[in-house]
Amino acid sequence: MDRNFEMILKYLRGDATLDERLEVMAWIKESEENRKEMLAFRRIFDTLLVSDVRAAEKNIAGRVKKGRVGKVFARLGSAAVAAAVAAGAFFMARHWQEVPDGQALNVAAICAPVGRQTMTVLSDGTQVRLNSGSRLEIMASDRNERRVRLDGEAYFEVARDEQHPFVLETASGMEVKVLGTAFNVNAYGGVQSVVLVEGRVEAKGAGETESTVMEPSQRFVYNAADGTTVLEDVDAEEYISWTEGYLLLKDDSVPEILGRIGHYYGVEITCSHDEFTGVEVSGKLVLDGGVETALKTLSMLVPMTYDTVGDARIRVLRQ
């Protein structure tokens, strides 16, 4: 893994494939030294990225070829090292601070703007990719856990720490507990879900005393309106394809697809469900071209037209 610097850089940039991400995660889990080395690479990359992405990649690529992370620091130069150390200290001080009983909790929030994704690394090495319009709160806690609250959608690659489980909660009360794994959470509305890519997690809805244990390629769905939960087998790639800049469609209904497009671009897209009854779509829908490009692509697969109503509302009609 040390020699495959291109894969490490792709992982840091956030454009690695699912298989590449899993390979890097496996390498990180091999030893505590690997985990610390990857976290150091992440901090250096983020620090240098502010000024020059090419410089960041060149520095890391050259040092990965030579071996250990110590050499990375030794040859980056005093200014870059100071900046990297400062960035690391900031992350460590900001996340999961313990507070005495009775005191208010400090909350650090990370947001993704509408129409864009945001990727960050938490102080424990956990990587998070937030989907458009999503917000992640890192909660300070007096318990032996790492707790976050999600509003929206996010993909997590959680750093393993058996002494401090990673707990995710949503505004509707769904809770996911993990030790170290990769999973996707969709908490945009009242129907929320967890899709497990790798590892093992426990999920439960609001008010439930017992958790559902999930296996890879399973989806846990919680309906906040009636409190029901469902566990089903799925193709995980379909639910995490957004992390690679597209939606993977497999016999999806038109209203469901329009809902996902609308969430991503922060617009309201309406259609008559009756007009598209029985119409299912399969394929790939690229997201980086804007909402109009996405709708034009969809109209090549489905006989439909669309027009704009007001500033942030689009109406779709069956052609």
CA distances from 178 to 126, 133, 162 (A): 12, 24, 9
Burial annotation 138-152 (CB, 10 A radius, 16+ → b, else e): bbbbeeeebbbbbbb
Contacts of 82 (CB under 8 A, 6+ apart): none
H-helix segments, the chain? 5-13, 18-29, 32-49, 53-66, 69-76, 78-94, 236-240, 254-265, 291-301
Distance between CA atoms of 172 and 317, rounded to whole angstroms?
33
Whether 267 contacts 312, CB under 8 Å: yes
Residue 254: predicted pLDDT = 92
Lowest mean pLDDT among 64-73, 134-143, 223-232: 64-73
- Measure the CA–CA gap between 303 and 88, rounded to whole angstroms: 52
pLDDT at 67 over 80: no
Helix (H, G, I), strand (E, B) or coil at 195: strand
Whether pLDDT at 197 is above 50: yes
Write out pLDDT tens, residues 27-66.
Answer: 777 777 777 777 667 655 554 443 344 444 455 455 444 4
Whole-model pTM? 0.65
Q: Which helix (H) or strand (E) holds 249?
A: strand 246-253
Q: What is the DSSP string of 145-177?
A: SEEEEEEEEEEEEPPP-TTS-EEEEETT--EEE
Burial of 239 from C-beta contacts in 10 A (0-12 / 13-18 / 19+): buried
Picking from 98, 89, 213, the residue whose alpha carbon sits closest to that of residue 144 is: 98
Q: Tokens representing 18?
A: 């699912």
The residue with tokens 């894969």 is 7
Q: Compute CA distances 76 → 9, 45, 133, whole Å.
A: 17, 11, 36
What band does 14 get if pLDDT is binned at 50, 70 and 90?
low
pLDDT tens digit sequence for 228-259? 999 999 999 999 999 888 899 988 999 999 98
Closest C-alpha among 155, 140, 152 to residue 105: 140
H or E segment and range at residue 285: strand 280-286
pLDDT (0 to 100) of residue 18: 67
Of 17 and 42, more confident? 17
- Which pLDDT score, from 0 to 100, does residue 77 have? 39
What is the predicted pLDDT for the residue at 13? 62
Q: Which residues pair with 195 in a beta bridge?
A: 184, 219
Distance of alpha carbon 120 from alpha carbon 37, whole angstroms? 17
Choose between 183 and 6: higher pLDDT. 183
pLDDT for res 4: 65
Q: How far is Cα 54 from Cα 73, in angstroms, rounded to an integer?
A: 17
CA atoms of 59 and 41, how far apart (whole Å): 10
pLDDT tens, position by position, 255-314: 999 988 988 888 889 888 888 988 899 988 888 888 888 999 999 888 999 888 766 689
The confidence score (pLDDT) of residue 58 equals: 53
pLDDT of residue 101 exceeding 50: no
| pLDDT-above-90 percentage for the chain | 26
Per-residue pLDDT, 71: 42
Residue partners of 295: CB distance under 8 A and separation at least 6:
261, 306, 314, 316
**pLDDT of res. 239:** 92
- pLDDT score for 28: 75
Highest averaged pLDDT of the listed ranges 15-19, 135-139, 141-145: 135-139
* 3-state secondary structure at position 99: coil
Distance of alpha carbon 103 from alpha carbon 142, whole angstroms: 10
How far apart are the C-alpha atoms of 319 and 308, rounded to whole Å? Answer: 16
CA distance 290 to 264: 10
